[in-house]
Chains A and B, each alone.
Chain A
Amino acid sequence: MNKKSIFFKDSAFKYLVGGSSLIVVAFFVMIFVMLAVRSYPSMANDPLMIFGSTWDVNSGLYGGIPAILGTLASSAIAVALAVPISLGMSVFFTEYAPRRVRAALSIVIDMLATIPSVIFGIWGLWIVAPLVKTYVQDPIVGSIGFIPLFSGPAYGLSLFLASLVLTFMIVPIISSLTISLLSTTPVELREAMISLGATRWEVVRHVALPFSKLGIFASIILALGRALGETMAVTMVIGNSFIWPFSSISLFSPASTITSKIASELYEAVDVLHVSSLVELGLILLVITLLVNSSARLVITRISRRNASG
């Protein structure tokens, strides 16, 4: 009797946890199927139209390349800016910061990670935009504006500003993970290095960073995923224009991302083709994130296998 009840409890538990993981899979499949079904009208109409450069609802043209490139560019720039900042902060935190500074810093990082994106958007729109326009964009346009990548006019709201706001949003993700990774560096290795006369920089460079590099890489991919999908803050600061990158390649030009396009137009879209093209953009974003994640997984398994064999 007792044995039986234990057996029953055990198998019930097994099905319970198995069921929970099944729900996650089911959700993913449902979202994927929903996007595929709802974007069918646009794919059936013209499968290549979404890869055009013009989005003109009045003429029934739904080319999404500027939004797709805007998504990729803003996320890539944000990651490129966020990685050095986060690594620098993490190394300072684990190697140099006095205990009190460390406590304060960790509170700030945690709080930064919990700020809702709409707040980042307001801050970007009201505070950062005018500052960036006056102190970054205007001087750069004035001096090297002849280079197409930095040409004016400077509006404030731009691809560059969106990347900057995204940077601030993903720095806490990368740095909080990196800090916890760096602080797990085995003490023996560290002490061995120091006993050999290594400087702090050498300890970081040859022990701490190599030891955590897989985890850091994974945190960067996580942050990239966040940047690719971020909607609210980006919509508020990117300027929502399709002129980038075909009419103007400038980083200071207003641009558009997949999520900002969907958020801006979906509610009022009436035409079936319009709606399904927006959904198709969403499908493309999902595929991009899947590609990013699976290639990251591939890199991680390859590196860890090489490390194991070497």
Chain B
Amino acid sequence: MFLSDSKGISKILGIGIVAVVLVAAGLIYYTQSMGAEQPATITAGGASFPYPLISKWVSEYNKLHPAVQITYQSVGSGAGQNGLFAKTFDFAGSDAPLKDSQMEQNPGILHIPETGGGIVVAYNIPNIGSGMNLTADVIAKIFQGNITKWNAPEIAAINPALTLPDLNIVVIRRSDSSGTTNGFTSYLKNASSVWILGSGTTVNWPVGIGASGNSGVASTLQQTPGGVGYLEFFYAKNNSIPFAKVMNRNGQFVEPTLTSISGALGAAAPLLSSDVRASVVNMPGDGVYPISVFTYILVYKDLSYMPEAKAKAVANFLWWIIHDGQSYSESLLYPRLPSSVVTVAEANLKQLTYNGRPLL
């Protein structure tokens, strides 16, 4: 009787001590995190292209600032823009900058270039690996159906070292609206006089088969001998799909690499500083890969419509991604923002205000 009683008492005592310790630890943790930062929950969404990198940023940033919870939904650039306009997203990711008409309807939106990407011309030709030479005109003719055989004289002329097979070209392109299609067609519109399909997230393709997403194009390409398509650089690289060198404005055939893509982004910095929405495909410069594009964070200049703690958190997070966040880019096969572009992004971010006061 006595024994069991004392057991009971010590049990209760034990539980009590554990509870007190837990509550104390919780309080200390809470007050510490409170001192460092106000808690904030940020909801964002948009382009799927930068999604892997943004996810990485979100998780790394959360380790540094546990009070700030960020979610980024990979819903596509169009849905991201609409979410921002409706203010359901606190910022949006978009592969294409806003059009003039959108800017007029929704004034006061900043474009922050956060990373970029290269779009590669990938192919499946038996016994031919990466590095076939292509020019803008040849790419345009292939994707418009004007060149239909891999051994066409126009391809052979710029690839004297290759033995090209007598194989039909099968064009594989995106069926879904996509920033990749926009970047690819913008390049062709800019760089080739024979391109007549215009540019946009979808165009009216006269030939070929449409597949959904980078993965759809890649898997169709891999099982279609003679196939040619355009893919995001990291997707082709990760899946070891051969891709072409493309002639740039300086007349060099350039292989897409993180360096040559980053070089293109750097070459675009002067353009960006006058108009952040400027088209940056087909930039001149030594060793610059011409089919390189930016992807942007869109955010309202005046964040007074959200709680102050959240506005501060948004501004700090965006500042962090263009600086410390860039160190995570290359391991995920995204190009690092050149310092000249970071300067432009900084200048834009400094326009963020809350009730008239700058946030950064």
Number of interface residues of A (CB under 8 A): 33
Asked whether A269 is an interface residue with its Cβ less than 8 Å from the other chain, the reply is yes
B206 contacts which of A247, A267, A270 (Cβ < 8 Å)?
A: A247
* Contact assessment for B209 and A155 in the assembled complex, using a CB-CB cutoff below 8 Å: yes
Asked whether A120 is an interface residue with its Cβ less than 8 Å from the other chain, the reply is no
Which of A54, A56, A243 is close to B207, meaning CB atoms less than 8 Å apart? Answer: A243
Q: Is B197 an interface residue (CB 8 A)?
A: yes
Considering the complex, which residues of chain A in the window 126-171 have a beta carbon less than 8 Å from any beta carbon of chain B?
A: 126, 129-130, 153, 155-157
- Indicate whether A157 sits within 8 Å of B220 (C-beta atoms), given known contacts A57-B203, A240-B211: yes
Say whether B79 contacts A267, CB under 8 Å.
yes
- Closest-CB distance, A297 to chain B (whole angstroms): 35
B residues near A270, Cβ cutoff 8 Å: 78, 81, 99, 102, 201
Q: Does A235 contact B (CB under 8 A)?
A: yes
- How would you classify the secondary structure of chain B's contact residues: helix, strand, loop or mixed? loop
Q: Is B131 interfacial (CB 8 A cutoff)?
A: no
Q: Are B204 and A267 in contact (CB under 8 A)?
A: no
Alpha-carbon distance A270/B94, docked complex (angstroms): 12
Cβ < 8 Å to B, chain A residues 58-84: 58-59, 61
Cα A269 to Cα B99 in complex, Å, equals 13
Chain B residues with Cβ under 8 A from A236's Cβ? 211-212, 216
With CB as the reference atom, state the residue of chain B lying closest to A122: B219
Give B122-175 interface residues, CB cut-off 8 Å to A: 168, 170, 175
Please give the distance in Å from A134's CB to the nearest CB on chain B. Answer: 11
Residues of the B chain whose Cβ atoms lie less than 8 Å from the Cβ of A241: 205, 208-210
Contact at B204–A129, with CB atoms within 8 Å?
no
Residue of B nearest to A247 (CB): B206
Interface residue B60 (Cβ < 8 Å from any Cβ of A): no
Tell me whether B223 is interfacial, beta carbon within 8 Å: yes
Least CB distance from A145 to B in Å reads 13
Within 8 Å of chain A (Cβ to Cβ): is B224?
yes
B interface residues (Cβ-Cβ under 8 A, vs A)? 75-79, 81, 99, 102, 168, 170, 175-178, 197-212, 216, 219-220, 223-224
Given contacts A157-B209, A241-B209, 4 further A-B contacts (CB under 8 A): A56-B203, A58-B204, A59-B204, A270-B99
A-B contact pairs, 13 of them (CB 8 A): A54-B204, A56-B204, A57-B201, A57-B204, A59-B204, A240-B210, A243-B206, A264-B175, A267-B76, A268-B76, A268-B79, A268-B178, A270-B81
